[in-house]
Amino acid sequence: MRHFEHISKEDREKIFMKQPESFTRYEDREKLSYALGATIYTPALRPEIAKDIIRKKHRGVQSMVICLEDAVGDLMTNEAQESLLRTLAEIDSALAKGEIKEEEMPLLFVRVREPVQIERLSQMARQKMGILSGLVFPKFSSRNAIDYMHYLERAEEITGASLYAMPVLESIDILNWDTRKEALRAINGIIDGNRDKILNLRIGATDFSGYFGIRRSHDTTVYDIHIIRDCITDIINNFCRPERDFAVSGPVWEYFCGGDRVLKPQLRMTPFRQAYGDMGEQKRGRLIDQYIDGLIHEVILDRANGLVGKTVIHPSHIAPVQAMQCVTHEEYMDAMSITQNSSGNVGVIKSTYSNKMNEIKPHSIWAKKILKRASIYGVLNSGYDFASLI
């Protein structure tokens, strides 16, 4: 699979200076953790999931989570589980018939409700679990982390599949300031001991907000909700340190259609005129009607804070999130300049764009992360930006 493969070769050659590299689900864990991009969640009760995957309905999606937890009512748990099993069987059959190739499949995950459910699914699905790249663990905390990792190991023993874990940090002990540090320290030991199985850490900002009866509007980002912002800050400080350096994804954006606005739209017209000419205003207008301008603003803040990729819940979110993961020409030139001058002979150098100073030591880790993203999402040509890919 390859990001932006749905775009014509001619357009890709025009837009990208460096093309995105292809990858598979068997890729190195570190590379794969950066490749998830816009991870779309869908309720397990939806009967069309397999058909949508086989027909490649959602253009650009490279990772998907089938949810058995919050997206499913408590009284519908058994029905959702049965629906999931049918979905896996449909996909398995399509792969066997050649209706879809494995390399055309998105990375597929299942979000379970509780640790013990993993064993039940493994016993019922058996070899079909091999379709999955991993499992998502909600409400991950020191109280259930050991059980989650135990049942993941059991699932691999039962099914013969190799599965990653994606813990969701959303429990109240992580949010409350008086228990947060102890809670994060307790999780550290378990996660560090299972590093090879942890693909990505996710932040459950919806659950965090719900504990305080807070819900951000389409005019605000999660970073404007200070109690959530402070918690995200501590999660980043804990898990994204150089010595630990886990990939942590941005929290979900939940708006996808219109309503009354209080603040002005946040998208400039110029990038859309440059990318689409006279059609640019219409393109921008559709994104504003869907509140994509708020999503783009939040992704900018995700990236500024070191988060990678984002949870999404609507197909309209996929393209902008993926586009915002691309490396700009200016970022790439800065990163290359920094890495090429890391021998110790230079301490600071003027950027290629002559608009900033690149300090070799302080910016070296940033440069390495930029180059990692560049290999997966590509590098835009000078004069192109995210608007060219939406």
Please report the DSSP string for 194-244 in residue order: TGGGB--BEE-HHHHHHHTT----TTS-GGGSHHHHHHHHHHHHHHSSTTT
* Other Cβ atoms within 10 Å of 201 Cβ, number: 24
> How many CA atoms does the CB half-sphere of 201 hold within 13 Å?
27
Distance CA 158, CA 123 (A): 7
Can you count the helices (H) and strands (E) in the chain?
16, 12
Distance CA 23, CA 3 (A): 9
The distance from CA 363 to its chain's CA centroid, rounded to whole angstroms, is 24
147 assigned to a ligand binding site: no
- The residues, ordered by sequence, that sit 6+ positions from 172 with a Cβ below 8 Å of its Cβ are 211
Structure tokens given for 349: 């150098």
Helix (H, G, I), strand (E, B) or coil at 38: strand
Distance CA 40, CA 42 (A): 7
Annotated binding-site ranges for Mg(2+)? 207
Annotated binding-site ranges? 207
